Amino acid sequence: MILNFSRRLILASQSPRRLKLLEQLGLHPEVIPSTLPEVFDASLSTEENIKSFAELKAKSVSEKIEDGIIVGADTVVVLDEEVLGKPADPADAFRMLRKLSGKMHSVITAFCVYSTPEERYISAVETTKVFFKEQSDEEIKRYISIDKPFDKAGAYGIQDKTAVFVKKIEGSYENVMGFPLTLFYKAMTNPKNIKSLNLN
C-alpha cells in the first residue's frame, strides 16, 4: 500500500478513471460525485478556473460529510486558448476531434484535497502537452461510435482507442487520464500537508 489514510476518504467525482488511479496508490475512496455546475470566470486564467472548480467540488461534497477527507478534481482540454469540455453529443465530439487532429493541445487537471470539519485544504494544477497525428473523418467517426467519449474532456480518453491518435506527450500520462497521480502523491507525502490536513 503506497498511501494509507486512516480517515474516511471520499472522491467527489464519478470518473471511473480517477477512481482507478487512486486505487493504484492503495486508496479505496467512497464515491460521492459533486453536482456543482461549472461556470468559467472570464477574469481568471484557465488554470485558475480549473483549480477553483476542483476546490468548489470538494467543498460542496464536504457539506455532506461530518468528518473526512474529500478529493475533488477537474480536467479540461485547451486548444489555441479554446477550452474543450465534455461533448454534448456525437456531432460535438466529432467537432472537437476534428479540431485536435494534427495539432498540439494542453490537458489541464486540478485537484483539491479538503479536510472536514477542519475546513483545511490544499490544491494543485498540472498541465500536459499532447500531440495528435492527422486523423481521417472515418477514423474519428469510428472511434466515437465504439467508445462514445461523452464523459471525457476533449472527446477522447488517452487510455482507449484514441491512443493511436497520439504522436507523443510531454508531461504526465495520468494527468491526461484525468488525475495527476505523481503530483498528488508528492502532495500527500509532504509532512506539512499531512499535518495540516490531519490525514492519519
For 107-162, what is each residue's pLDDT tens digit? 999 999 999 999 999 999 999 999 999 999 999 999 999 989 998 999 998 987 77
What's the rounded mean pLDDT across residues 75-93?
93
Asked if residue 171 lies in contact with residue 129, where contact means CB atoms within 8 angstroms, the answer is yes
What is the domain range of residue 142? 9-197
Whether 181 shows a pLDDT value over 90: the answer reads yes
Judge whether 172 lies within some domain.
yes
Q: Are 169 and 86 contacting, i.e. CB atoms less than 8 angstroms apart?
A: no
Q: Which of 158, 94, 173, 165 is nearest to 126 (CA)?
A: 173
Residue 163: predicted pLDDT: 79
Residue 123's SS3 state is: strand
Asked whether residue 1 is domain-assigned, the answer is no
Task: Please indicate, yes or no, if residue 183 is contained in any of the structural domains.
Answer: yes
Domain-located, residue 146: yes
Q: Nearest Cα to 122, choosing from 167, 174, 59, 40?
A: 59
Residue that the C-alpha cell 464515491 belongs to: 31
Residue 2 has pLDDT above 80, yes or no: no
Q: What is the mean pLDDT of residues 74-103?
A: 94
Percent over 90 (pLDDT), the chain: 82
pLDDT exceeds 90 at position 3? no
Catalytic residues: 74
- Please provide the average confidence, as pLDDT, over all residues in the chain: 93
Only one residue has cell 500500500, namely 1
Quick one: pLDDT at residue 99? 96
What's the total number of domains in the chain? 1
- Is residue 4 in some structural domain? no
Cell reading at 166: 497520439
Categorize the per-residue pLDDT at 164 as very low, low, confident or very high, splitting at 50, 70 and 90.
Answer: confident
Question: What CA–CA distance (Å, rounded) separates 38 from 83?
Answer: 13
Spatial separation of the C-alpha atoms in residues 40 and 52, rounded to whole Å = 9
Examine the pLDDT at 54 and tell me if it is beyond 90: yes
- 3 is a domain residue: no
- The three cell numbers of residue 132 are 495528435
Residue 2 in any domain: the answer is no
Of 2, 5, 10, 1, residue with least CA distance to 198:
5
**Interval 175-194 mean pLDDT:** 94
Q: How confident is the model at residue 102 (pLDDT cuts 50, 70, 90)?
A: very high
The average pLDDT across 43-62 equals: 96
Confidence class for position 1, pLDDT limits 50, 70, 90: low
More confident residue, 130 or 36: 130
Residue 34 lies in a domain: yes
Q: Is 165 left (phi over 0), alpha (psi -120 to 50) or beta?
A: alpha
Q: What is the CATH number of the domain that holds 167?
A: 3.90.950.10
Q: Residue 120's beta-bridge partner residues?
A: 115
